[in-house]
């Protein structure tokens, strides 16, 4: 069952969604013609690796293991009580980096119309969600762990991101005439 309540969406469903989408993007990467020095197919292949990595993180709960390790390190090194400013600074840096990467992706979208912008944004949102989960800042945790019985806010964000990537891959698949 899920990590937060007995009624949460089972983790294996999310792992299956990540793996299915990773296979779909791998198929798209192998079929799509190179536009500029192979960039679109490399991008889809990169997305395949990201989705597969997220499936493994979800399956093995790696973000929780990293979080527990870092919390134990903070206790051992005596800075556990001062961790909130570090978490805040890390989140601020991550959001600024995400903004910069989004700007770069928007530039790439103008250059390569074959890759839907929603793909980049969804992958970015999913990556950001995983980092936020790993940092485990109290105030963000309170929001992403709100549970609506069967599904939490965190899982809703994941499902929406995965659905948008799925939609984008369908848009990117060449149409047969």
pLDDT digits (tens, 9 = 90+) for 134-173: 887 778 888 888 888 888 898 899 999 999 889 888 777 6
Does residue 40 belong to any structural domain of this protein? Answer: yes
Domain assignment present for 161: yes
Instruction: Establish if 120 belongs to a structural domain.
Output: yes
CA distance 159 to 94: 22
Give the range among 3-7, 39-43, 105-109 with minimum mean pLDDT. Answer: 3-7
Rounded Cα–Cα distance for residues 47 and 40 (Å) = 11
- CA distances to 23, 41, 49 from 29, rounded to whole Å, are 10, 4, 11
User: Is residue 2 a part of any domain in this protein?
Assistant: no
Structural domain includes residue 3? no
Domain span at residue 135 reads 11-172
Domain count, the chain: 1
Cα angle 100-105-107, degrees, rounded to a multiple of 5 = 100
- Half-sphere exposure of 88 toward its Cβ, with a 13 Å CA cutoff? 5
- Predicted TM-score (pTM) of this structure: 0.76
> Residue 125, SS3?
helix
Kindly state whether residue 110 falls inside one of the protein's structural domains.
yes
What single-letter DSSP state applies at residue 4?
S
Cα 16 from chain centroid? 15
- What are the tens digits of pLDDT across the range 69-126? 988 998 899 888 887 888 888 888 888 888 887 777 777 766 666 566 777 778 888 8
Kindly state whether residue 4 falls inside one of the protein's structural domains. no
Domain assignment present for residue 1? The answer is no
Distance, in Å, from the CA atom of 6 to the CA atom of 26, rounded to the nearest integer, reads 34
Contacts of 110 (CB under 8 A, 6+ apart): none
Could you identify the residue written with the tokens 């990590």? 3
């Amino acid at each position: 069952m899920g990590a937060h309540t007995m009624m949460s969406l089972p983790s294996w469903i999310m792992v299956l969604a990540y793996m299915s989408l990773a296979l779909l993007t791998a198929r798209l990467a192998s079929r799509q013609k190179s536009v500029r020095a192979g960039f679109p197919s490399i991008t889809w292949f990169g997305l395949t690796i990201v989705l597969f990595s997220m499936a493994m993180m979800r399956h093995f709960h790696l973000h929780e293991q990293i979080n527990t390790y870092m919390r134990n390190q903070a206790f051992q090194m005596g800075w556990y009580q001062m961790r909130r400013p570090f978490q805040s600074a890390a989140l601020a840096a991550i959001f600024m980096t995400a903004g910069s990467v989004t700007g770069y992706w928007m530039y790439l979208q103008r250059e390569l119309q074959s890759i839907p912008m929603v793909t980049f944004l969804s992958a970015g949102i999913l990556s950001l969600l995983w980092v936020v989960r790993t940092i485990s800042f109290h105030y963000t945790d309170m929001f992403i762990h709100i549970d609506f019985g069967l599904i939490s806010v965190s899982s809703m964000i994941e499902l929406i991101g995965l659905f948008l990537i799925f939609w984008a891959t369908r848009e990117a698949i060449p149409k047969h005439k």
